[in-house]
Amino acid sequence: MLLISLKSEEVRRALEQLPAEFREAIVLREFEGLSYKEIAGTVRVPLGTVMSRLSRGREWLRGILSSPQEGVKQKRSRPE
């Protein structure tokens, strides 16, 4: 499935399926345009954690959007 053809409603629903800390990192980066350092300062976590949350959050999001059922499966086996 081509992600580029997705409707904003599908993307919004996928974002809502992400755990809060992953969603928070993605929203601060993609929508608010904060740098990794600024995100680390805002949510008070180390820089490495920001990098990891963004990487895993986006990978997870891509999984949900590529296959809508994926989100449910991933939710059951949420990475720590």
The residues of the shown chain that bind other proteins, judged by CB under 8 A, are: 2-4, 6, 8, 11-12, 15, 26, 29-36, 38, 51-52, 54-55, 58-59, 61-62, 65-66
Q: Is 45 helix (H, G, I), strand (E, B) or coil?
A: coil
Instruction: List the structure tokens of 77.
Output: 């086996």
CB of 20 to other proteins, least distance (A): 16
For other proteins, which is the closer residue by CB, 55 or 73? 55
For other proteins, which is the closer residue by CB, 17 or 36? 36
Among candidate residues 76, 59, 73, 50, the one with its CA nearest the CA of residue 3:
59
Give the C-alpha separation, 31 to 6, whole Å.
17
CB of 65 to other proteins, least distance (A): 7
Q: Answer yes or no: are the C-beta atoms of 78 and 22 closer than 8 Å.
A: no
CB of 76 to other proteins, least distance (A): 22
